[in-house]
Amino acid sequence: MLEEKAHNLLNQDLLSPLLAAGLFPDFIQRFLPFSINSWDRARGLEYAFEKGWDSTYKDGKKPNLLKGSYYDHWKADGSGSAPALVLNTTVVETGDRLVLSPFKINLPNLKDISMVACKAEDMDFPLSTAAVLSARFTLVTPVGWFNRCEKNEKGKSIESSSQKSRLADGGYFENSGVSTAVDIGSRLEEFLIKNPEKQSTINVVYLAITDRRSQEIQEAGGMNEILSPIKALWNSRDARGLSIIDQAEYLTDAASADAGLTPKNLFEKHYSFQRFRQLYLHNPKFKSQPEGKPLSSIIFESDLVQFPLGWLLSKPSQEAIKQRIGGKQNCKPDLSSTPNRSSTSTNNDCVFQSIKEELNNQPKVST
């Protein structure tokens, strides 16, 4: 039900309001000596998301969370059903991360916006604003800004230190978001070590929507002097995200490097007890190997589809995405010694099954 609603919401025309806002009100205010926040073209995209919610829930029985305050979407007492959304941004002036979080984060290398804003009590914005702020597309949507202040020993803002700070897409710092998840998760794990009585009710599991590394190396191409620095900067952004993912997986899961991991205990060791699990955009299937071969020798095959870049997602593209999400069937690798035999189960099916079993407190049984 929730998946269907999400597809309906994203099936709306989200780009036309953005284009209209950029060509008219936002363009006009370039000639004004002052700015009008409601004319910002980024608000056009936010309004489109909010309208998409209204079109999805036409009966009006469910309040529009995208229009509501970002800080209302999650309840610390557990009374709500939505998870806490921690969204990454990048500070233009320093290149550091600054997150939007419904709970306070004040770590040496990670802070939320309420810890540095001049008037944290006045920092309130819609959920749609938070979502668009963390996913700014270069030139299409402008950077956001807020007034930033230094804090004194008592944690109060020093008004004289106030200065405008700009926020860009969180992907400039790290494109996967895994580094922020690991920073928060490691603090939760420290809490569990100090409070062992909580270990039976809290389990830290990392889920990442990623993709497997491309085995193809692009050709160098021409205009080396000009294009090489630009290409290196662009490609290193994606490579750094994949490197963080590899590092997080290595640090959290010894099971991933288990040399004795065979197809017969694949689900039990590689999914059911794995703390770092990845949902792949190109959902790989399993391919059989000679009996007894370890996991490192199992070959994955991917059904690669190139989605066209258009104004709206076509129906075939939507159906292809739904198929690659996984979770429609149980994890049954069915790997025999017959060479080149493909399983109907995929990596994402196995990840979904492991999540369902944990949420339902079902025993972890090997399939």
- Choose among 64, 66, 63, 110: nearest CA to 91: 110
Using CA atoms, how far apart are residues 135 and 141, in angstroms rounded to an integer? 9
- Does the structure show a pLDDT above 70 at 60? yes
The pLDDT, as a whole number, for residue 91 is: 94
Cα–Cα distances (Å) from 210 to 168, 242, 328, in that order, read 22, 8, 19
The answer to whether the CB of 199 falls within 8 A of the CB of 190 is no
pTM score: 0.81
Cα–Cα distances (Å) from 304 to 193, 260, 320, 333, in that order, read 43, 30, 10, 20
Of 79-83, 96-100, 346-350, give the range with the top mean pLDDT: 96-100
- Choose among 9, 110, 97, 103: nearest CA to 57: 9
pLDDT in tens, 166-196: 999 998 898 889 999 999 999 999 999 999 9
- Does the structure show a pLDDT above 90 at 102? yes
The pLDDT, as a whole number, for residue 315 is: 78
High-pLDDT (> 90) share of the chain, %: 24
pLDDT in tens, 226-254: 888 888 888 888 888 888 888 888 888 76
Q: Out of 15-19, 173-177, 275-279, 292-296, which region has the weakest mean confidence (pLDDT)?
A: 292-296
Using CA atoms, how far apart are residues 236 and 233, in angstroms rounded to an integer? 5
- Does the structure show a pLDDT above 90 at 336? no
- Does the structure show a pLDDT above 80 at 68? yes
The pLDDT, as a whole number, for residue 45 is: 92
- Does the structure show a pLDDT above 80 at 116? yes
What does the mean pLDDT of the chain come to? Answer: 79
SS3 letters across the chain: CHHHHHHHHHCCCCHHHHHHHHHCHHHHHHHCCCCCHHHCHHHHHHHHHHHHHHHHCCCCCCCCCCCCEHHHCCCCCCCCCCCCCCEEEEECCCCCEEEECCCCCEECCEEEHHHCECCHHHCCCEHHHHHHHCCCCCCCCCCEEEEEEEECCCCCEEEEEEEEEEEEEHHHCCCCCHHHHHHHHHHHHHHHHHCHHHCCCCCCCEEEEECCCCCCCCCCCCCHHHHHHHHHHHHHHHHHHHHHHHHHHHHHCCHHHCCCCCHHHHHHHHHHCCCEEEEECCCCEEECCCCCCCHHHCEEECCCCCCCCCCCCCHHHHHHHHHHHCCCCCCCCCCCCCCCCEEEEEHHHHHHHHHHHHHCCCCCCCC
The answer to whether the CB of 80 falls within 8 A of the CB of 74 is yes
- 349-356 average pLDDT score: 84
- 20-24 average pLDDT score: 90
The pLDDT, as a whole number, for residue 299 is: 43
The pLDDT, as a whole number, for residue 193 is: 92
Higher-confidence position of 289 and 154? 154
- Does the structure show a pLDDT above 60 at 366? no
The answer to whether the CB of 232 falls within 8 A of the CB of 218 is no
The pLDDT, as a whole number, for residue 184 is: 93
The pLDDT, as a whole number, for residue 298 is: 47
